[in-house]
A and B are shown apart, each in its own frame.
Chain A
């Protein structure tokens, strides 16, 4: 059974940094690309970043380019999202999701999410 467990969400001041983690199990982690999707309170879903199984091919939505960095450690079956220069509009639940195929894809498996709150 595929399991994805995010952690690292917290209350952070504007301009601060945070690193989110997603621990994966139940599948061969290094074989699959992974993604981060976020959802602001009461709002819709927003894809923000994806990475290939090898750790290459990182992609980002324009609104986070230069501030967010996706990475992974295949030896630990863990996906990361480094978030810098946090802004109030980054407040959201951050989900990790397993990609189905290489390239653009839909998401069959999602984690439970971790809440990031940016406020002074």
Chain B
């Protein structure tokens, strides 16, 4: 099983600032990495797939990078609607596994 580790667990950021979230895989997943956003009481929403391809609902301030075992989700200028928990997920092999999440909170 590929273990996905996200850091930090909580990220405190002021609106308008950049947020950088990290995700590490215990073995290479190539670029088979997705990011999801989840707000309290809501369903997860796909943000990024293929490590760097942005889903249609998300603006250009969201970007993903990395390959192999190290990945980053960057939100260039945080807006109020971006404060949420973000999860990474590898889909390189079974079982599919998610990271533990990073909560992005208002500083």
Residues of A at the B interface (CB closer than 8 Å) are 35, 44-47, 50, 59-62, 95, 100, 104-108, 110-113
Contacts and interface: CB of A to CB of B under 8 A. Distances in A.
15 contacts: A35-B96, A44-B98, A44-B100, A44-B101, A47-B95, A47-B96, A59-B94, A95-B44, A104-B91, A104-B92, A106-B49, A106-B91, A107-B46, A108-B49, A110-B43
Contact of A105 (B43, B91, B97, B101): B91
Interface of B: 1, 32, 34, 36, 38, 43-46, 49, 55, 87, 89, 91-101
A109 to B, nearest CB: 9
B99 A44 contact: yes
Contact of A112 (B38, B43, B55, B97): B43
Chain A to chain B: the 7 pairs with minimum beta-carbon distance, closest first = A106-B34, A47-B96, A104-B91, A45-B98, A110-B43, A106-B49, A44-B101
B43 A113 contact: yes
B96 A104 contact: yes
A62 B98 contact: no
Contacts of A113: 43
Contacts of A106: 34, 46, 49, 89, 91
A59 B98 CA distance: 16
Contact of A95 (B43, B55, B92): B43
